[in-house]
Structure 1
């Protein structure tokens, strides 16, 4: 049995309490973490202050009992100044307690204290100075604590300060094998249990004389656990260690962080715990080995109970039964963590668990066929650890000197499965061998050109080598897909690539599912686990280029067949990658000229390839032209004028030299007109307009597109009145084309507007162009210094209906700015929380995450939530070095604006006029305010 010690005190300096870890710990303590840490600080100084007992959550938050007096302390934590109403109830209780002591119903004298993390506000400060304030009730806050006070610790600004103070106190105790932070968290958990009246301190009281024994008990208990990481980073939605379920099964590949998770969560658990690594214990010996060591851990210091349990000749089963009986008699619970449970036969685990009805079990296991047997035999469902989030990986990368934006870290998480050990190892490789550039490492891993073998490859190689030939081929063939496929699709890929028949493929899928190599989504969809895909891709490369191409073609063909009925964003991304890998020029060029593909954010995936197509003399002139057209359109959308003139000249040259048709002439002419307008070149705009007028077919569709481009040119030239007039005509025309009226749209969500559209055909392009017209009109009106009314709101609706995600997010951000400008900060926050955040996270719009989150932080500041705003910006800081110059400046400007708002608050929140509010309430059937 493997037993490891926890971190030594020499490692304290490297301990880091990050924001996500703090939030997780605070959730365990249900908002009382500051108070619980304050009680811990009282425990540490109790003996030297002459305190005999410490009582928590009784008459007051903390009560210190001394031989001749009792101190009652009320603990307050506030984000702003303390006000009288915060403590008025405590003062009333103090009056009642004072009377109890005066009348002799309580022994000794009574002293009182209010301990706050924030200073008093002006009105409370005035009360403190008045003669009416009771002389025996001091108020303490950071920086205001008499040096002579020995019993009560000085208050701290926040939880982090409190933890640091408690850790420093714990460091003075003589436990060299136990990291002081470990003891602090365990004591905080014990305080939490006592506050709830849970054994062994059900009377809410800690006897100071017994504290050394308590400290030693915690030390002995935690020696069994693996050492907590020096800098633990929580996993996504990680589970608690102790729950109401008696038997749980937590799974993950080697490197998934199971041991780190269990050792870290053990610090914040008030239950009795024991940890055993059962890897080297034979099944029949399991009950006996576990029982004897568990008895020693739980009852080794409890009088004669150990002798009652370890009777001569007692079997493991009898010992476990006796442990359970004694736990029940003492109203105690205990949780036993069994590591490497997959190495023990399921039947032996069942035998152990069945004879221990008073014990809770947490089984840690690697996914394999044994886990499936454990699930079936014990009737439990495995809980996989989900790995690190993007934000956590970025924080780790930043600490190692790596640089990457949100997209770069998302790319890395796909390659490592987000498993902590693999992600951390990859980041160390990036820092040591790729100048800290996360994207460069990802490219090398994807192209199999990296020169340093990763921990992921080393650890999982043994797992992969244990598969049979069909299983390795299945992982290899499906490693190119990072999206779930159904069984029929996956079977087709393996048939086309390796000639693997469907029955053999199905058998391989079943075995791989049991081993955790494939992940199941819904009833019939699965994909190779992200952590295993690099090994599968490596095996596919070893099979040869012919097999790689067969797999790429098979995936391309099935995605193209499914595309008309399934527009899943991730599948389209995968299809684009297959087109690029196979050099399929035509569909890529067609996509590059389709507005909807720009709106869905796909251009980053193919822009580099389009540059190659445009520069290749071997590619037909028409394809080169449209590749350039797509690139120019993307530059226009991004507001980036770099290289546009050169690309327009190349497009003109292709038209002249190859006698291309009317569509090409109109396309380059429209874009040249907009480019000239941006440069304020009025003469070129007029000349181009005249040329286009002669070429333009007089069809309604062509005329509407031309009108919009003319209006856009007017906007770029600063002719805002003319732009507003032109867009108004277009908006009316599009409303009529769609069969809508303004009344149909006012106050309605897209799902209510859709049924009103004229005809039964798709209106995607018309909806998008109507939204474009509304957006352009709103910009022109704002440029004239006026409010655009509902133009942006309605544009947002139509972009949503057209699935124009990029424009939806952009206009949503502009709408947020509109709300802020009119001082409706609550409305701005609502737009981000209800519309923008769900969109970017749900659709994985990685490139938009940082701009929207930084804008959200600013809106929080406008709402007065400065702590939340600063915390959000702190979480974005690790990404800053990986952004381009424009992105970095935007983030820095947002941070500076938040600091400015904190010093100089904005105008007050806009209030809806009473008449309008009452009208809305009448429409909703609500009672009116007087």
Structure 2
């Protein structure tokens, strides 16, 4: 998943606890399904034991355990002691009948526990049941290895019941929910017991509750941070465009709800009649089979609100709750909804609605706040894409989510089009959608175009101009863009913003920032086809100028990406070339956005020779950084030709010389390296700044040539000199975070370049030390600090990954996991470094395996499978190797976790 939590270890523990409870509830459901044919009269949950089965003369006590590894004795030691106490209760006559006991588990016993079970002292009335064990009898179901297998077993049992109208999986989830409520002592089973003779009525009741709900999708995929149906609020409103998955969500979550449910589509019911229609159907649904109560509720002449009040009163008497789902609630006048929901405080309501002017009135009148479904995450979209044969990278799916707003129907439809019309290549479809050259009309366009057609001209123009931006703006910024694009005055713009917000087209961020909803942006952009290219040009120029003016105060990564796109769209080559020669530009991961554009510009005679040279320089730098050898020599030759023919200056000669030296070093051509260095020394300006850059490049060349000792010596002096330039000492950096180091920097200078160069020198020195078998010490950690301070995010993540490997090499697996969880994952998720997501997450899976968390490692790798086909050959091979290595570690455990020395592990020790 794309959302990251503060403490992944805590999340894993929470998932394990709830997974154990769910496994237990499914086992209890399996007992209920086969209770009648095995002579069981009652099934009790969460009493003395997890599950208790009562027969006429015997009571069976079962403790249910779900474990990720083999069951060990300490897992069940407490249960065995409790069995002794229960056994005494029966033998001394305080409990009727005989007793026997079972440990039910999904894991086989460990060798030590298996030996204990065979020994003489093991109680004869205690059996351990696990997948593959010999069944004791038909009373206790055979346990399954996982929650999925347990569910499938219950599903198979549910299929034998005579309820053809209802899907068996629906019945299983509803029964599991009822068991969960009974475990909590909630009505209608406050005594934790199910009477087997009453099961047919219970099954029928569950079927009646759900048979009028829309059928959930055959393969439902949850939305990001999806809410539950009941969250403690009596009245809720879920708002989203058609296609947002509201109905699918409510029909799926209804499977897991424990109270009475009713669903009504009120689209064609007039407002005044809604209370009467809903109340009478609800009364018949809840009390239709309960003798005289229905007659008490449906009194002659009773109004709809009176009937609802009576239903609520009887629910309260029976200690029950009921939830009423009203679909298309936006079509009902707010006043009529108020009368309906206020009729009884014992009834809960969930209103499903589409954006529109009525939503604000409903919110204000009822006093509620609309909730939005968050749409699919990148991971969910990738899983759906893989299921229909699509190939795409993490970046491709991120772009698809921006184009569709993540709305499930629109994502599904786009993936289907990619599969059927673009050979499964998601990147091709995305390019066609962005350029509006696709042939097949998407469901998104078909559904939303009807609403868009009702907008007035100003609203359409406002949507169009702001659709060029995928980052939020303030009202003043947006109004300025509209004024320059379509000459819309601020007052008219403000009125348009209010209308667009009420219709759901505008999304609010924070207090005063908003943008056009991603799902509406394709329609807004298409509006430029009607209004003409002049307005499109003006809108792009307005956004470009706005971003240039505000980037000094708001250097937001997404705003920089948007500015790049505006430069490209407007053909502004000069600023692109200037940015491409800036190291930080590459560090922020922007090069992929414009590499193709720079390559075209570098060959254009319409571009100045100087700009062509620096475009090539930026491309060569990108090749070096990515370790890509493609066309480097050709580009270097073209740069040299430009210098010679166009008589370019010293800066160009120095840039070419430095890159020639590194290229020769990578080719192991030591003679050329020395010749270039000698030539550069003659022409290099004798300023400290130029000399430091040259010394770093020389040290880098020594590293590429394998002369590690010389590289280490060269970087030692360089590191010391950069510390001096920054006004720092080693002690200023030790055990301090960047926010504590910044105030110590020498004043009056912009230190970004020097911070980056110090980090580069520390990183290079660390790599050279590793190469000669020495420990780089704190070098990588300090490099990460300085990369972070310089906003060199790509290098920050790369060095962090190398640091993780260092920790693993020193058998500190917990430390390696901590680096990923507290430094790398928050960075790539928070800053949307899409290109780094898969490498870091696959490395994380390997580290989990080193920590012994093999189930979590397998689950993490499984979540990456949908992206595998979208990777290049090297990326696919890396994933396959890591998957194989996790399997190897399972069979060949690594050395144990390195322990901290005793003198460092006391209460006074600092992390």
Kindly provide the CA deviation profile for residues 189-241 of structure 1, in whole angstroms up to 9, marking residues without a partner as x.
Answer: 00000011111111111111111111111111101211110000000011110
> Which of 858, 863, 877 lines up with 1:870 in the alignment?
858
Kindly provide the CA deviation profile for residues 310-357 of structure 1, in whole angstroms up to 9, marking residues without a partner as x.
Answer: 112211111101101001101111111111110100000000111121
* Contact residue 226 and residue 263 of structure 1 kept, 8 A: yes
Distance 1:789 1:801, change over 3 A: same
The alignment status of 1:221 with 2:228, answered yes or no, reads: no
> Which of 884, 905, 908 lines up with 1:896 in the alignment?
884
- Paired position in structure 2 for 1:17: none
- Paired position in structure 2 for 1:885: 873
- Paired position in structure 2 for 1:41: 30
Kindly provide the CA deviation profile for residues 548-607 of structure 1, in whole angstroms up to 9, marking residues without a partner as x.
Answer: 111111110100111122110000000000000000010000000011111111000010
> Which of 43, 50, 55 lines up with 1:61 in the alignment?
50
CA distance, structure 2, for counterparts of residue 808 and residue 24 of structure 1 = 29
- Paired position in structure 1 for 2:114: 125
CA distance, structure 1, for counterparts of residue 39 and residue 20 of structure 2 = 30
- Paired position in structure 1 for 2:485: 497
Total equivalences in the alignment: 901
Distance 1:846 1:396, change over 3 A: same
Kindly provide the CA deviation profile for residues 73-128 of structure 1, in whole angstroms up to 9, marking residues without a partner as x.
Answer: 11111111212222222222222222222333322221221111111122221221
- Paired position in structure 2 for 1:549: 537
CA distance, structure 2, for counterparts of residue 720 and residue 682 of structure 1 = 14
The alignment status of 1:700 with 2:688, answered yes or no, reads: yes
CA distance, structure 2, for counterparts of residue 631 and residue 404 of structure 1 = 25
Deviation, 1:31, is 4.0
> Which of 268, 275, 298 lines up with 1:310 in the alignment?
298
Kindly provide the CA deviation profile for residues 663-701 of structure 1, in whole angstroms up to 9, marking residues without a partner as x.
Answer: 000001110010000000112111111111111010111
> Which of 264, 275, 288 lines up with 1:287 in the alignment?
275
* Contact residue 26 and residue 32 of structure 1 kept, 8 A: no
* Structure 1: 5+ residue stretches without partners: 1-21
- Paired position in structure 2 for 1:852: 840
* Contact residue 756 and residue 790 of structure 2 kept, 8 A: yes
Deviation, 1:29, is 5.5
CA distance, structure 2, for counterparts of residue 26 and residue 723 of structure 1 = 48
- Paired position in structure 1 for 2:351: 363
- Paired position in structure 2 for 1:746: 734
Distance 1:680 1:24, change over 3 A: closer
Kindly provide the CA deviation profile for residues 891-926 of structure 1, in whole angstroms up to 9, marking residues without a partner as x.
Answer: 1111111111111011111112223445xx5465x9
Kindly provide the CA deviation profile for residues 704-727 of structure 1, in whole angstroms up to 9, marking residues without a partner as x.
Answer: 100000110111111111110100
User: Which aligned pairs between 1:109-508 and structure 2 lie closer than 5 A?
Assistant: 109-146=98-135, 149-508=137-496
TM-score (norm 1): 0.96
* Contact residue 253 and residue 366 of structure 1 kept, 8 A: yes
SS of the aligned residue for 1:47 comes to helix
- Paired position in structure 2 for 1:726: 714
- Paired position in structure 2 for 1:907: 895
* Contact residue 29 and residue 192 of structure 1 kept, 8 A: no
SS of the aligned residue for 2:63 comes to strand
Deviation, 1:889, is 1.2
Deviation, 1:27, is 9.1
CA distance, structure 2, for counterparts of residue 850 and residue 704 of structure 1 = 35
- Paired position in structure 2 for 1:787: 775
- Paired position in structure 1 for 2:88: 99
Distance 1:318 1:922, change over 3 A: closer
CA distance, structure 1, for counterparts of residue 903 and residue 797 of structure 2 = 33
- Paired position in structure 2 for 1:13: none
SS of the aligned residue for 1:138 comes to strand
> Which of 542, 547, 550 lines up with 1:562 in the alignment?
550
Kindly provide the CA deviation profile for residues 516-560 of structure 1, in whole angstroms up to 9, marking residues without a partner as x.
Answer: 101001111100000000000011222111111111111101001
* Contact residue 252 and residue 384 of structure 1 kept, 8 A: yes
CA distance, structure 1, for counterparts of residue 294 and residue 59 of structure 2 = 37
- Paired position in structure 1 for 2:3: none
Please identify, of 769-778 and 909-918, the stretch whose mean Cα deviation from structure 2 is larger: 909-918
CA distance, structure 2, for counterparts of residue 215 and residue 770 of structure 1 = 70
SS of the aligned residue for 1:281 comes to coil
CA distance, structure 1, for counterparts of residue 12 and residue 692 of structure 2 = 54
CA distance, structure 2, for counterparts of residue 206 and residue 471 of structure 1 = 60
CA distance, structure 2, for counterparts of residue 365 and residue 889 of structure 1 = 47
Deviation, 1:26, is 6.8
CA distance, structure 2, for counterparts of residue 92 and residue 689 of structure 1 = 79
> Which of 690, 703, 709 lines up with 1:715 in the alignment?
703
CA distance, structure 1, for counterparts of residue 361 and residue 57 of structure 2 = 63
SS of the aligned residue for 1:649 comes to helix
User: Which aligned pairs between 1:604-615 and structure 2 lie closer than 5 A?
Assistant: 604-615=592-603
* Contact residue 242 and residue 271 of structure 1 kept, 8 A: no
* Contact residue 25 and residue 268 of structure 1 kept, 8 A: no
Kindly provide the CA deviation profile for residues 148-193 of structure 1, in whole angstroms up to 9, marking residues without a partner as x.
Answer: 6111100111111100100011011111111100000000000000
SS of the aligned residue for 1:844 comes to coil
CA distance, structure 1, for counterparts of residue 275 and residue 549 of structure 2 = 56
The alignment status of 1:767 with 2:755, answered yes or no, reads: yes
Deviation, 1:840, is 0.3
Deviation, 1:615, is 0.9
* Contact residue 20 and residue 65 of structure 2 kept, 8 A: no
- Paired position in structure 2 for 1:755: 743
SS of the aligned residue for 2:59 comes to strand
Deviation, 1:266, is 0.5
